Amino acid sequence: MNLQESIRGDLKLFEYEDMGDRKGYITDNSNPQDPDVRIVGFGDMRFSQLTANVQGKLKDLAQRAENGDYRTVEWAVNSEGGILGFLLEAIIEIEAEMEEGQ
Protein backbone atom coordinates (compact mmCIF):
# COMPACT_ATOMS: atom_id res chain seq x y z
CA MET A 1 0.00 0.00 0.00
CA ASN A 2 1.41 3.39 -0.92
CA LEU A 3 1.05 6.65 1.01
CA GLN A 4 -1.93 7.89 -1.01
CA GLU A 5 -3.86 4.64 -0.46
CA SER A 6 -3.04 4.77 3.24
CA ILE A 7 -4.22 8.36 3.56
CA ARG A 8 -7.39 7.69 1.57
CA GLY A 9 -8.19 4.81 3.94
CA ASP A 10 -7.65 7.09 6.93
CA LEU A 11 -9.92 9.75 5.45
CA LYS A 12 -12.86 7.33 5.25
CA LEU A 13 -12.84 7.15 9.04
CA PHE A 14 -13.76 10.85 9.29
CA GLU A 15 -17.23 10.21 7.90
CA TYR A 16 -18.48 8.51 11.08
CA GLU A 17 -17.66 10.98 13.85
CA ASP A 18 -18.63 14.61 14.28
CA MET A 19 -17.14 16.78 17.01
CA GLY A 20 -17.77 20.06 15.31
CA ASP A 21 -14.51 21.78 14.49
CA ARG A 22 -12.38 19.91 17.04
CA LYS A 23 -9.87 17.41 15.67
CA GLY A 24 -8.58 16.08 18.98
CA TYR A 25 -8.83 16.48 22.73
CA ILE A 26 -7.47 15.09 25.98
CA THR A 27 -9.39 12.17 27.49
CA ASP A 28 -7.12 11.41 30.47
CA ASN A 29 -4.64 13.90 31.87
CA SER A 30 -3.26 11.74 34.70
CA ASN A 31 0.13 12.04 32.94
CA PRO A 32 0.23 15.75 31.98
CA GLN A 33 3.44 15.31 29.92
CA ASP A 34 1.89 12.53 27.77
CA PRO A 35 -1.90 12.52 28.16
CA ASP A 36 -4.31 10.10 26.54
CA VAL A 37 -5.97 11.86 23.62
CA ARG A 38 -8.84 11.15 21.26
CA ILE A 39 -8.44 11.97 17.59
CA VAL A 40 -11.70 12.21 15.68
CA GLY A 41 -11.90 9.35 13.21
CA PHE A 42 -8.89 7.53 14.67
CA GLY A 43 -9.57 6.79 18.30
CA ASP A 44 -7.56 7.01 21.49
CA MET A 45 -3.79 7.07 21.87
CA ARG A 46 -1.05 8.73 23.86
CA PHE A 47 -0.02 12.21 22.77
CA SER A 48 3.49 10.86 22.12
CA GLN A 49 2.02 8.29 19.71
CA LEU A 50 0.22 11.03 17.82
CA THR A 51 3.33 13.15 17.47
CA ALA A 52 5.41 10.10 16.45
CA ASN A 53 2.80 9.29 13.79
CA VAL A 54 3.03 12.79 12.31
CA GLN A 55 6.82 12.77 12.49
CA GLY A 56 6.84 9.48 10.59
CA LYS A 57 4.57 10.89 7.89
CA LEU A 58 6.80 13.97 7.54
CA LYS A 59 9.94 11.83 7.30
CA ASP A 60 8.25 9.73 4.62
CA LEU A 61 7.36 12.86 2.67
CA ALA A 62 10.93 14.16 2.98
CA GLN A 63 12.22 10.85 1.61
CA ARG A 64 9.75 11.02 -1.27
CA ALA A 65 10.95 14.55 -2.05
CA GLU A 66 14.55 13.35 -2.06
CA ASN A 67 13.48 10.68 -4.56
CA GLY A 68 11.78 13.30 -6.74
CA ASP A 69 8.19 12.21 -6.00
CA TYR A 70 6.84 15.74 -5.64
CA ARG A 71 3.35 14.83 -6.85
CA THR A 72 2.78 12.69 -3.76
CA VAL A 73 4.33 15.31 -1.50
CA GLU A 74 2.16 18.05 -2.98
CA TRP A 75 -0.94 15.88 -2.71
CA ALA A 76 -0.25 14.99 0.95
CA VAL A 77 0.46 18.60 1.92
CA ASN A 78 -2.24 20.40 -0.07
CA SER A 79 -5.15 17.95 -0.30
CA GLU A 80 -8.25 19.44 1.24
CA GLY A 81 -9.26 17.35 4.22
CA GLY A 82 -5.91 15.58 4.10
CA ILE A 83 -4.78 13.54 7.05
CA LEU A 84 -1.51 15.37 7.62
CA GLY A 85 -3.17 18.75 8.09
CA PHE A 86 -5.88 17.15 10.21
CA LEU A 87 -3.36 15.55 12.58
CA LEU A 88 -1.31 18.74 12.80
CA GLU A 89 -4.44 20.67 13.78
CA ALA A 90 -5.21 18.03 16.42
CA ILE A 91 -1.70 18.39 17.87
CA ILE A 92 -2.05 22.16 18.07
CA GLU A 93 -5.48 21.89 19.74
CA ILE A 94 -4.19 19.36 22.25
CA GLU A 95 -1.07 21.38 23.02
CA ALA A 96 -3.29 24.41 23.73
CA GLU A 97 -5.42 22.25 26.03
CA MET A 98 -2.25 20.99 27.79
CA GLU A 99 -1.07 24.58 28.34
CA GLU A 100 -4.46 25.56 29.81
CA GLY A 101 -4.22 22.69 32.29
CA GLN A 102 -0.85 23.82 33.69
Helix (H/G/I), strand (E/B), else coil: 39: strand
* Percentage of the chain exceeding pLDDT 90: 65
Per-residue pLDDT, averaged over 50-70, amounts to 96
CA 86 – CA 39 distance, rounded (Å)? 9
Count of alpha carbons within 13 angstroms of residue 72, beta-carbon side:
19
CA 60 – CA 71 distance, rounded (Å)? 13
Give me the domain span that covers residue 93.
3-100
For the chain, how many structural domains are there in total? Answer: 1
Summarize pLDDT for 20-50 with one digit per residue, the tens.
788 999 999 999 999 999 999 889 999 999 9
CA 20 – CA 48 distance, rounded (Å)? 24
